[in-house]
Structure 1
Amino acid sequence: MTEETAIETHIAVLSDLWEGLPEAEHVVRRAVVAVGRTPGITLPPDAELSFALADDEQVRVLNRDYRAIDKPTNVLSFPAAHGTLLGDVIVAYETLEKEAVEEGISSADHLAHLATHGLLHLLGYDHDTEAEALAMEQLETAILAGLGIKDPHASGRMMPGESHA
């Protein structure tokens, strides 16, 4: 771990589909650094993060088994119970690609948003209420702006993980 990252990030590529976004690991690491540098966010000492680049089927199974929702979603976060591991963030490739096309944004920018969103969940942020959603959106917008990524909520799109039915 370096001072620049503040969070030791372990990335597992679980699907060959991610070859379609060869810069994915770099994008995730940049997003993690940006979150760690955000004023007001306090990271535990020696924080670690597990990040998985998966496919829709892998995420569907996790979503079914842990959330009783039998369909894929773009990002899942599983907080760790204790220790230095913050938890796991898993992103589904096909859903990420589909949403990026629908929203007219690059896949890399959408991945940065999903990585940021997932990590914020592990740090205790949520969007269960309108006030929480607004606070989380503002934080995401500020973090992503620091990466040169436009406001993902400007057009009123949903939070990552919400139903796009």
Structure 2
Amino acid sequence: MPAPLPPLSLSLQFARFDDVAEHRAALPRHKVTRWIRHALDGDVLQAEITVRIVDAEEGQTLNRDYRQKDYATNVLTFDYSSAPVVMADLVLCAPVVAREAAELGKPLAEHYAHLLVHGTLHAQGWDHETGEEEAEAMEAEEIAILAGLGLANPYAQP
């Protein structure tokens, strides 16, 4: 019998932007909670995570100010503490996520699920930018988590 999933305190926030309703519809609270909880490692006893969906301007500002990369990216993770209590902010840039989902031919909600799993792994110390081995391990973990959620491999070529 698998271990029970850890409790999650979730704050789900949406900035004001033109097509926010489409993004709200793709991110019902119960699904966001499920996706994040499934991405938490076995040594996590509880998590406090804020998910904020932003426009391109806010996404670019945060990426520039905190990562010194002057463009909007799909997901930014700000991790404050790790296991046994994970505390983090996940910031997802709605226009970038929507564009990527369209380019990949995926439903918006499915792409959000992948990016929330990805960001949650970053909040626990996973890092795909430190080397090829770490990138492959993180990718494999994402694929396994998403499969457990009934979602396809996000890295498979169509």
Counterpart contact for 2:97–2:111, Cα < 8 Å: yes
Q: How many angstroms apart in 2 are the aligned matches of 1:54 and 1:61?
A: 11
Q: How many angstroms apart in 1 are the aligned matches of 2:8 and 2:96?
A: 26
Alignment TM-score, normalising by the size of structure 2: 0.85
How far apart are 1:81 and its partner, in Å?
A: 5.0
Query: Secondary structure of 2:76's match?
Result: strand
1:159: which partner in 2?
A: none
- Consecutive unaligned residues of structure 2, counting only runs of 5 or more, are none
1:48: which partner in 2?
A: 48
Counterpart contact for 2:6–2:44, Cα < 8 Å: no
Q: How many angstroms apart in 2 are the aligned matches of 1:77 and 1:64?
A: 14
Aligned match for 1:31, one of 35, 55, 74: 35
Q: Which range moved further: 43-52 or 108-117?
A: 43-52
Alignment TM-score, normalising by the size of structure 1: 0.82
How far apart are 1:25 and its partner, in Å?
A: 3.5
Aligned residues: 150
Aligned residue type for 1:23: A
1:146: which partner in 2?
A: 148
- Consecutive unaligned residues of structure 1, counting only runs of 5 or more, are 157-165
**1:109-149 CA-partner distances (Å, limit 9, x unpaired):** 00000000001000110102111111111110011112221
Counterpart contact for 2:74–2:115, Cα < 8 Å: yes
1:94: which partner in 2?
A: 95
Query: Secondary structure of 2:78's match?
Result: strand
Q: Which range moved further: 49-58 or 10-19?
A: 10-19
1:73: which partner in 2?
A: 73
Counterpart contact for 1:11–1:25, Cα < 8 Å: no
Q: Which has the higher strand share?
A: 2
The 5-angstrom pairing of residues 120-139 of structure 1 reads: 120-128=121-129, 129-139=131-141
Counterpart contact for 1:15–1:53, Cα < 8 Å: no
Q: How many angstroms apart in 2 are the aligned matches of 1:94 and 1:124?
A: 26
Query: Secondary structure of 2:44's match?
Result: coil
How far apart are 1:85 and its partner, in Å?
A: 5.1
Identity %: 34
Q: How many angstroms apart in 2 are the aligned matches of 1:20 and 1:139?
A: 28
Q: How many angstroms apart in 1 are the aligned matches of 2:79 and 2:37?
A: 19
CA RMSD of aligned residues (A): 2.1
